[in-house]
Amino acid sequence: MTRALYWFTRDLRLHDNPGLIQAASADLLLCVFVVDPRWFRPGPFQCRALGQHRWRFLWQSLMALDEALQSKGNRLHIAWGTPEQSIPALCRGYEIDELHGARLPGSYERRHWAEICEAVPQVKARQHENLTLFEQADLPFGLDQLPATFSAFRRQVEKARIEPKPPQPAPDALPPAPGLAQDARDQCPPVVDPAKGGGNAGFMGGETAAMAHWQRYLWDDQHIVHYKDTRNALDDWPSSAKLSPWLANGCLSARQVAADIQRFESGVKKNDSTYWLYFELLWREYFQWMAFAHNRALFQRDGVQRVRRNATFYGHRFQAWCQGNTEYPLVNAAMNQLRETGYISNRARQIVASCFVNELELDWRYGAAWFEQQLIDYDVASNYGNWQYLAGVGADPRGLRRFDLDKQTRQFDPDRAYIRKWRGDSEQAVGLHTVDAADWPIGLD
């Protein structure tokens, strides 16, 4: 009798999950998600890895996954602890023969997997490429030859005509779980009621919610046919696909999205906009491979380019930025929206990141850490890749990107509706040179 453990991480779904399908050929299957207490403690850049909005979205996704697993004859076991201890302990406790999980690009996650394999050498461990459109073996270059820019990456991928593998349907049934003691749900931190802590900007975690949203966006409302013209809007729900929280948590597979776009193009309409949504998925793809290729350099100040740029840390400027109290109303509005909902548009992210690096002259890693805490769609590769790009130390041949904040306001918020909606005209605006001993250390929430 074989016993498998499937460790869910950023692939919280049953559809297009080839690793789960393989694990399901065992006689008994233990499905596990590990909640790591380190996520809830402040890290080196003053922020926690997981703020309340993302925690709520993740929790909703886990509950939806549990329900989906139960409908197939299994269930989700939630463990509380570090994965490098919890997974080996479960492997030993349940006499597991095979361990399956997604291959992840983050450097901690890679280290954890290596430590787990070392701790239980008798278990056959296998990682699956669940996050990306392509598999590494399909790329027309080795990871050590990954193009230094997105454009070169896209050109090579398109020239080689590589296609994502067709998405696989959810398994019809799953083997039963081995008998389980009570899991650690009660030990996990409480989820803040959306009514009290913001509303996740209209997003609901889980695979079913993801599919329903995507179905509406693509097939019912067909917003995709205008995507290229609308995607730069600051704050308008249908202006962009709003897939990122589900993609980041793996409630939706990128391969599924790509396949659906192709189906839409052949059955309904194909235009620049339908291509552009796929083009943006390629951006995501590029950042995933960049993270795989550069590992820890993704988190280092000098970036993957290893260029030194002047940057420092002023506590009062950082605090003003996080709390929407800078001298820049457009930036304040976006930062208020981010703090209150856990989501802002791509345009708003570029504006606040440019302000952080160029106007406030702060070390980009603090901004990235705040995004990591706040964003419900936080994705290690996309977040750190984009921050490096804007800070001029990443995959951008043009160097530092500086957005003219007045021009951005005129162009994207001409009647200041966004600034008004998110209260960007702060009465407590903090000037660049205001320093007070009481600002240090700063408390952020």
Interface residues toward ligand FAD, by CB under 6 A: 231, 240-244, 247-248, 277, 280-281, 283-284, 287, 345-346, 349-350, 353, 371, 375, 377-379, 382-383, 386-387, 390
Shortest distance (Å) from residue 346 CB to ligand FAD? 3
Helix, strand, coil shares of the chain, percent, nearest 5, are 50, 5, 40
Torsion of CA 10, 79, 182, 91, to 10 degrees: 100
Residue (239 or 323) nearer to ligand FAD, CB: 239
CA distance 302 to 44: 17
Picking from 248, 168, 232, 205, the residue whose alpha carbon sits closest to that of residue 68 is: 205
Residue (246 or 314) nearer to ligand FAD, CB: 246
Shortest distance (Å) from residue 379 CB to ligand FAD? 4
Residue (46 or 239) nearer to ligand FAD, CB: 239
Shortest distance (Å) from residue 337 CB to ligand FAD? 12
Residue (132 or 382) nearer to ligand FAD, CB: 382
CA angle 408–413–418, rounded 5-degree value: 125
Is 424 in contact with 324 (CB distance < 8 Å)? yes
Residue (178 or 245) nearer to ligand FAD, CB: 245
Residue (95 or 158) nearer to ligand FAD, CB: 158
Shortest distance (Å) from residue 350 CB to ligand FAD? 5
CA distance 53 to 236: 20
Is 21 in contact with 130 (CB distance < 8 Å)? no
Neighbours of 436 (CB within 10 A): 9
Is 103 in contact with 130 (CB distance < 8 Å)? yes
Residue (202 or 431) nearer to ligand FAD, CB: 202
Picking from 176, 186, 36, 46, the residue whose alpha carbon sits closest to that of residue 111 is: 36
Shortest distance (Å) from residue 213 CB to ligand FAD? 10
Shortest distance (Å) from residue 38 CB to ligand FAD? 19
**Can you say whether residue 353 is alpha, beta or left, with left for phi > 0 and alpha for psi between -120 and 50 degrees?**
alpha
Shortest distance (Å) from residue 352 CB to ligand FAD? 8
